[in-house]
Amino acid sequence: MTPPLKLFAVVLTALATGCHVGPDYERPEYPVPEAFRGAQVPPADVDLQGPTYGTLQWFDVYDDPVLQELIKQALKSNYDVRLAAERVIQARALVTISRSDLYPELNAGGTYSRTRATENGAVPIPQGVDEEQSQWSLFGDLSWDLDFWGRFASASEAARADLLATEFARLTVIQTLVSDVALAYFDLLQYDQVLQITRRTHESRVKSLELVSLRLDEGVASKLEYRQSEGIVLQSAAFLPRIELAIERQENLIRFLIGGNPGPVPRGRPLLEQKRTIDVPLGLPSDLLTRRPDLMAAEQGLIAANARIGEAKALLYPSIRLTGLGGVASEDLSDLFKSGSRIWDIAPSVTLPIFNAGRLRSNVVVTESQQRQAALSYLQSVQIAFREVSDALVEHEKREEVREWQEKLEKALADQLSLSNDRYLGGVTSYLEVLDSQRDHFSAELALVESIRDELFSSVVLYRALGGGWLGTEELAAQGEQVGASVVPPSSGG
């Protein structure tokens, strides 16, 4: 057997008997509850494979056509989404760079040299030898670090996990953006409703002032009643520009989220017509671990940290490197490809770390600690996720109760205001009672609008806590809707 074939047999034997010195990954155990706190345990006959609130696509949850268009525009133009997409592209390239260490590196080249030796040197030039010589050569060189201990495989596994973590981080950005646009839109609708109530209240107060003015001229009302009525008119008048300022600021915020310059924002359904009920089940708590992109990103970070332990441990063992060169060389270009011009060189080498002042072993300790930190961070993220869902559930329930009570309060104070006006016109009570009733009813109207907004907010927060908000984004991309600077769909495997 020729030397190259013998070396090839040695390489195959080394690769076949190679081992991986790193630990295998296992997901940390976490006590997943049977049901979210605030939600009932689903009956055994309930189909848990169907859609849940967290798996609904965002355009099914937010059914306002204008809001849907705003979210689509945000997914295409928002800079955070575009930056996240670029980070995924970078991570994919880093995976390719890391995987390249598993394969041989092959290069090709050629040289030409013309040299002249000195005639007055320490060693005289033999007679008949030309002091000027040429050298032509074409060659290829190969180098290969054998991954006998799984060092490069572990590094590639870590890079792959980093890529998946980056992709899930991109989906977290999308999830947050969808929620932020919805929250900002509902805030804007609330301001619109407050402006409408304030204008209506101001017009009503202006009419009351006119009525008090007529009664003052007739000697029925006092100057004090006129000033009281005038003061409450001025209060509502001063409130109007503050609401208009809030509206413009909110529009500018939405325009910022969708990647545009400050400007007006279209409206769809008014606040009172927005969907607030949740009519689908919440799903199983265990599904949260594979639905929330932030939890999946945290787990991929743990996988990467686990793989880097193997990379660090492999440095404690000998490294095997193969280098080889082959080609042709001759003095004359015409002889370059003749049989006698062949050259080759094979040089395997083994390097064993002997003394490094504990650097390599300390590096293993560092990676093991980083893996434990990543595991604790993942478990903490899971704990936070369950807390967020429970908080969002109770908030939605209580916000609904508050809204129901506010509706009853607003109706009662509206009746009180009507009765106060009748009593004042009938001369039964003073105008102070009317003023108090006007203030109470105005405050109740604003509180009712705020409670409706809060109820909508709680549904958005619950949807996000259950892992929704990014679902359906890739479907839009498949239909030609570009998400970010470039569409990078989630990877499905290692």
pLDDT at 491: 37
Could you tell me if 343 and 325 are in contact, meaning their C-beta atoms sit under 8 angstroms apart? Answer: yes
List CB contacts of 371: < 8 A, sequence separation 6 or more: 302, 305, 306, 308, 309
pLDDT at 124: 75
pLDDT tens-digit profile of 407-462? 999 999 999 999 998 998 888 888 888 889 999 999 999 999 999 999 999 999 99
From 35-49, 165-179, 231-245, 351-365, the region with the lowest mean pLDDT: 35-49
Residues 101-123 have a mean pLDDT of 84
pLDDT at 483: 41
pLDDT at 494: 33
pLDDT at 88: 93
Q: Is the pLDDT of residue 279 over 90?
A: no
Residue 109: CB atoms within 10 A of its CB come to: 10
Nearest to 386 by CA among 53, 37, 54, 52: 37
pLDDT tens-digit profile of 235-275? 999 999 999 999 999 999 999 999 999 999 999 999 999 98
Averaged confidence pLDDT in the chain: 86
Confidence of residue 47 (pLDDT cuts 50, 70, 90): low
Q: Is the pLDDT of residue 129 over 80?
A: no
Give Cα separations from 28 to 357, 367, 379, 385, 467 (angstroms).
34, 17, 7, 16, 20
Confidence of residue 487 (pLDDT cuts 50, 70, 90): very low
Residues 19-34 have a mean pLDDT of 88
Residues 314-329 have a mean pLDDT of 90
pLDDT at 44: 56
The architecture CATH gives domain 41-101+150-317+369-478: Up-down Bundle (1.20)
- Taking the domains of the chain in order of start, what are their residue ranges? 41-101+150-317+369-478
pLDDT at 19: 73
pTM score, two decimals?
0.84
Percent of the chain with pLDDT over 70: 89
Q: Is the pLDDT of residue 42 over 70?
A: no
Give Cα separations from 360 to 57, 286, 314, 368, 433 (angstroms).
49, 40, 10, 13, 83
Q: Is the pLDDT of residue 387 over 90?
A: yes
Helix H, strand E, coil C: the string for the chain is CCHHHHHHHHHHHHHHCCCCCCCCCCCCCCCCCCCCCCCCCCCCCCCCCCCCCCCCCHHHHCCCHHHHHHHHHHHHHCHHHHHHHHHHHHHHHHHHHHHHHHCCEEEEEEEEEEEECCCCCCCCCCCCCCCEEEEEEEEEEEEEEECCCCHHHHHHHHHHHHHHHHHHHHHHHHHHHHHHHHHHHHHHHHHHHHHHHHHHHHHHHHHHHHHHHHHHHCCCCCHHHHHHHHHHHHHHHHHHHHHHHHHHHHHHHHHHHCCCCCCCCCCCCCHHHCCCCCCCCCCCHHHHHHCCHHHHHHHHHHHHHHHHHHHHHHCCCCEEEEEEEEEEEECCHHHCCCHHHEEEEECCEEECCCCCCCHHHHHHHHHHHHHHHHHHHHHHHHHHHHHHHHHHHHHHHHHHHHHHHHHHHHHHHHHHHHHHHHHHHCCCCCHHHHHHHHHHHHHHHHHHHHHHHHHHHHHHHHHHHCCCCCCCHHHHHHCCCCCCCCCCCCCCCC
Could you tell me if 433 and 423 are in contact, meaning their C-beta atoms sit under 8 angstroms apart? Answer: yes
pLDDT at 247: 96
Q: Which residue has the tokens 């800079």?
A: 79
The C-alpha atoms of residue 320 and residue 493 are separated, in whole angstroms, by 30
The residue ranking higher by pLDDT, 482 or 63, is: 63
Q: Is the pLDDT of residue 12 over 50?
A: no
Q: Is the pLDDT of residue 160 over 90?
A: yes
The C-alpha atoms of residue 420 and residue 442 are separated, in whole angstroms, by 14
pLDDT at 343: 87
The residue ranking higher by pLDDT, 305 or 435, is: 305
Confidence of residue 41 (pLDDT cuts 50, 70, 90): low
